[in-house]
């Protein structure tokens, strides 16, 4: 799973350059009732955002509909939107599925 380098600040322009039209957002707040990580997921279209807007600034303004936490989210381009660039085998998507048992 790609991770942003701390020095790299992705912008809407960057997301558009990847031909990705949405952002994947997961809430990292805690549910006030259960105390567990909220984890609510939202897909946010980037239409309507200016190119220069950074993902960090978007994240800082988001309020979770589940736990009401503001600005505490994991935000990243929706890689599933990107044009397929599959050159190798199924291990590329391994993070979504349980690892295959070793033989």
CB 76 to Zn ion: min, Å? 17
Q: Closer CB to Zn ion, residue 8 or residue 36? A: 36
Structure tokens at 19: 């031909």
CB 67 to Zn ion: min, Å? 3
Q: Closer CB to Zn ion, residue 16 or residue 42? A: 42
**Residue 17 Cα to chain centre, angstroms:** 16
CB 4 to Zn ion: min, Å? 21
Q: Closer CB to Zn ion, residue 20 or residue 27? A: 27
Burial group, residue 85, by CB count within 10 angstroms (0-12, 13-18, 19+): exposed
Which residues contact Zn ion by CB under 5 A?
27, 29, 38, 40, 64, 66-67
What are the start-end ranges of the E strands in the chain? 22-27, 41-45, 73-77
């Amino acid at each position: 799973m790609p991770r942003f380098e701390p020095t790299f600040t992705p912008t809407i322009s960057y997301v558009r350059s990847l031909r990705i039209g949405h952002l994947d957002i997961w809430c990292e707040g805690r549910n006030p009732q259960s105390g567990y990580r909220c984890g609510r997921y939202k897909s946010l279209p980037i239409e309507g955002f200016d190119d220069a807007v950074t993902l960090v600034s978007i994240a800082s303004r988001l309020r979770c509909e589940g736990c009401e936490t503001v600005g505490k989210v994991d935000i990243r381009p929706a890689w599933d939107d990107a044009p397929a660039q599959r050159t190798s085998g199924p291990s590329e998507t391994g993070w979504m599925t349980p690892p295959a048992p070793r033989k």
